[in-house]
Chains A and B, each alone.
Chain A
């Protein structure tokens, strides 16, 4: 056996012993407290096996080579392990920001805490700054050895339960849009923060809006230089976008098997559609593995992450839409999906509605196509609108 096969065997053994049986039923319609406790417990279970943050550097508790990461995600998906939805922003967005642009002190303060269960949310978007993120209006005014923040943030996932937030705010109101933005770590327990859940299209409420009223952030929580936050956000989130896709593509592969099991296979039209999805899925999975390997070696192309994000999200939408179609009227009566699952849970109608959670956030499909065209293919930028 090769080392990789040995590794696969050990992950399989671990999954069989540790993936909680019946978690889907228990988590379907579970109250928030149950969900939080379940997520935290599962995170610690993964952590004790060394599987929680395989993509982090070894010094901070990760260090798994990319081929092993791919195997890990394949096996977790194949054994239908719960997903780390609550820790997602912490282990991906926050960690890649801290590792890429944080100070040693910031890393020491937060990376071990994340392993201990510190929850993070992201405060980037605003009511008037969606796709045009650089139009954000939240201000951070220098005051003594800190900043005073005022404004409103939208689409902060799990903000109601978050300990810390990633925050973009304008520190130079005179500068051109992108030039005046700074990147902060926000302690969510600071006075002046008001978090309200937003009810989403699926009926759930994990996204929140966040009102910031004279919120004080110490200068030690600035990431990178003042007014250099745009670059920090782009560099760390672009790379990170690819890493999360490795797991999501493997989850979608498991979703595909359920789709096959749920489909009337005696219908040749159905067979044809399924085989079409499988081809795309095989290409996507290979693309994700390549991307992560290239990113690991510092050779990622400028649009690689956008290509996988765009294709993943639109394939997810088409597959879940097809699932809703083959599930027929019976499928319409499935009113809840398990918390801790992704949007390939097999509750196809809700999965389908929820799939817009991938084509809109993190840069809409339209924004991804513009990035691919301009950064990946070198096509000319659109002239700026006259203002």
Chain B
């Protein structure tokens, strides 16, 4: 089977499963999704972030709630970058088997940590004054729920009370934390891409059947052209997400730039797409029952989380002074 065929199969299964209900930890483990990036020797699938990205996109499409983002994307991702010790290996194995629900804070004691209330264990990226970052592993204790407008996300403020265990990154810790942030940003871009696709499809379907003035509203240019603009946003976003995922999997030196491009563009585009979906659904779209608001709220949260579009654009623009110096008209690139 080619990678594309594998992804198609994974996507089909994910769409079926997630379309019915939000899977819990045991179901996620049974599906094999928690251990996608865990080595086979530790009961995982030995796959890559590319497969995780497929699941994430489908979770955005279904506005799935639950432990996947915190345990698999942030948790297994963090553990994978730590020095391999027997404790770490044991924890990775438990993650793959669905025996441990993780929560990760990349910003020390922080106000908005995913899934911290329900987690069995909390990994906190901390740093000594003047030193590099390391990870503190604590049995989750003090997590104060922080409800947000997007009801599909479970966030909390965490405070570390016990000392916990100190675990070290396997290589350059600053680079490792940067890569963890890139992974989180791209994960949200995948989610936003999936929810944009769902909103575009729902809007096109609605515009094809909803009649006003004696004809389907999708036959009016004002509606049709708005849908066309949504497709352009989704099409470009898909390319940027694909490029960012590939760059992360290949551990490309420019992966951070690709991640920021995907997060900046798709994070913003998803809000535009979901907002236009609400507009084109008319009064129906504004009702609680329509669920369009679920998508719009999730898109709005995704846009803000792990770096706003403006913050990511600032990272992208940090390269411009050196680019400007090297760009007399005879200089070659890339």
A379 pairs with B327, CB closer than 8 A: no
Mask for B311-334, Cβ within 8 A of A = 1, else 0? Answer: 011101100110110011111111
Q: Give A276-294 interface residues, CB cut-off 8 Å to B.
A: 276, 278-280, 282-284, 286-287, 290
| A384 to B236 CA separation, bound complex (whole angstroms) | 32
User: Would you give the shortest CB distance from A165 to chain B, in whole angstroms?
Assistant: 32
B317 pairs with A376, CB closer than 8 A: no
User: Would you give the shortest CB distance from A383 to chain B, in whole angstroms?
Assistant: 6
Residue of A nearest to B313 (CB): A275
Whether A382 touches B221, Cβ cut-off 8 Å, given contacts A257-B327, A268-B314, A282-B261, is yes
Contact of A12 among B261, B328, B332 (CB under 8 A): B332
B232 pairs with A275, CB closer than 8 A: no
B261 pairs with A279, CB closer than 8 A: yes
The interface residues of chain A lying within 8 Å CB-to-CB of B320 are 260, 263, 265, 271, 274
Residue of A nearest to B265 (CB): A279
- In the complex, whether A373 has a CB less than 8 A from a CB of chain B is yes
A370 pairs with B227, CB closer than 8 A: no
| A373 to B204 CA separation, bound complex (whole angstroms) | 9
Contact of A369 among B224, B265, B321, B333 (CB under 8 A): B224
The interface residues of chain B lying within 8 Å CB-to-CB of A263 are 320, 324
18 contacts between A and B (CB under 8 A): A12-B332, A15-B332, A258-B329, A261-B327, A271-B314, A272-B310, A272-B314, A276-B313, A279-B313, A286-B242, A372-B227, A373-B218, A376-B231, A379-B204, A379-B218, A379-B219, A382-B220, A382-B224
- In the complex, whether B83 has a CB less than 8 A from a CB of chain A is no
| A368 to B232 CA separation, bound complex (whole angstroms) | 11
User: Would you give the shortest CB distance from B240 to chain A, in whole angstroms?
Assistant: 5
A369 pairs with B228, CB closer than 8 A: yes
B236 pairs with A283, CB closer than 8 A: yes
- In the complex, whether B243 has a CB less than 8 A from a CB of chain A is yes
Mask for B63-98, Cβ within 8 A of A = 1, else 0? Answer: 000000000000000000000000000000000000
B321 pairs with A373, CB closer than 8 A: no
A377 pairs with B228, CB closer than 8 A: yes
Using C-beta atoms within 8 Å of the partner chain, give the interface range for chain A: 35 or more
The interface residues of chain A lying within 8 Å CB-to-CB of B242 are 286
- In the complex, whether A298 has a CB less than 8 A from a CB of chain B is no
Whether A380 touches B323, Cβ cut-off 8 Å, given contacts A78-B332, A271-B317, A286-B240, is no
| A242 to B221 CA separation, bound complex (whole angstroms) | 24
A287 pairs with B236, CB closer than 8 A: yes
- In the complex, whether A252 has a CB less than 8 A from a CB of chain B is no
- In the complex, whether A310 has a CB less than 8 A from a CB of chain B is yes
The interface residues of chain B lying within 8 Å CB-to-CB of A209 are none
B332 pairs with A279, CB closer than 8 A: no
- In the complex, whether B290 has a CB less than 8 A from a CB of chain A is no
- In the complex, whether B142 has a CB less than 8 A from a CB of chain A is no
| A74 to B332 CA separation, bound complex (whole angstroms) | 9
| A307 to B239 CA separation, bound complex (whole angstroms) | 13
- In the complex, whether B216 has a CB less than 8 A from a CB of chain A is yes
Q: How many residues of chain B are within 8 Å of chain A by beta carbon?
A: 46
User: Would you give the shortest CB distance from A335 to chain B, in whole angstroms?
Assistant: 20
Contact of A380 among B208, B237, B312, B333 (CB under 8 A): B208
Whether A287 touches B239, Cβ cut-off 8 Å, given contacts A369-B228, A372-B228, A374-B224, is yes
Given A283-B235, A373-B227, A379-B218, list of 9 further CB < 8 A pairs?
A12-B332, A261-B324, A283-B239, A286-B243, A310-B228, A379-B204, A379-B208, A379-B219, A379-B224
Q: Give A231-267 interface residues, CB cut-off 8 Å to B.
A: 257-258, 260-261, 263, 265
| A380 to B218 CA separation, bound complex (whole angstroms) | 6
| A184 to B208 CA separation, bound complex (whole angstroms) | 39
The interface residues of chain A lying within 8 Å CB-to-CB of B216 are 379-380
Whether A279 touches B231, Cβ cut-off 8 Å, given contacts A80-B330, A257-B323, A290-B239, is no
| A376 to B332 CA separation, bound complex (whole angstroms) | 37
Whether A378 touches B224, Cβ cut-off 8 Å, given contacts A79-B332, A265-B321, A274-B320, is no
Nearest first, the 8 closest Cβ-Cβ pairs linking A and B are: A283-B236, A275-B313, A373-B224, A286-B239, A271-B317, A372-B228, A379-B218, A369-B228
Mask for A329-350, Cβ within 8 A of B = 1, else 0? Answer: 0000000000000000000000
User: Would you give the shortest CB distance from B38 to chain A, in whole angstroms?
Assistant: 30
Whether A284 touches B236, Cβ cut-off 8 Å, given contacts A80-B329, A265-B324, is yes
| A279 to B232 CA separation, bound complex (whole angstroms) | 14
| A384 to B303 CA separation, bound complex (whole angstroms) | 42
The interface residues of chain A lying within 8 Å CB-to-CB of B36 are none
The interface residues of chain A lying within 8 Å CB-to-CB of B221 are 366, 369-370, 382
Residue of A nearest to B323 (CB): A260
| A12 to B334 CA separation, bound complex (whole angstroms) | 12
User: Would you give the shortest CB distance from B160 to chain A, in whole angstroms?
Assistant: 35
- In the complex, whether A109 has a CB less than 8 A from a CB of chain B is no
B316 pairs with A377, CB closer than 8 A: no
The interface residues of chain A lying within 8 Å CB-to-CB of B204 are 377-379
The interface residues of chain A lying within 8 Å CB-to-CB of B200 are 377
- In the complex, whether B14 has a CB less than 8 A from a CB of chain A is no
| A282 to B243 CA separation, bound complex (whole angstroms) | 9
The interface residues of chain B lying within 8 Å CB-to-CB of A110 are none
- In the complex, whether A126 has a CB less than 8 A from a CB of chain B is no
- In the complex, whether B207 has a CB less than 8 A from a CB of chain A is yes
Residue of A nearest to B331 (CB): A78
| A280 to B235 CA separation, bound complex (whole angstroms) | 11
The interface residues of chain B lying within 8 Å CB-to-CB of A258 are 327, 329
B324 pairs with A79, CB closer than 8 A: no
The interface residues of chain A lying within 8 Å CB-to-CB of B123 are none
Residue of B nearest to A346 (CB): B329
B313 pairs with A307, CB closer than 8 A: no
Residue of B nearest to A77 (CB): B333
Contact of B225 among A290, A369, A378 (CB under 8 A): A369
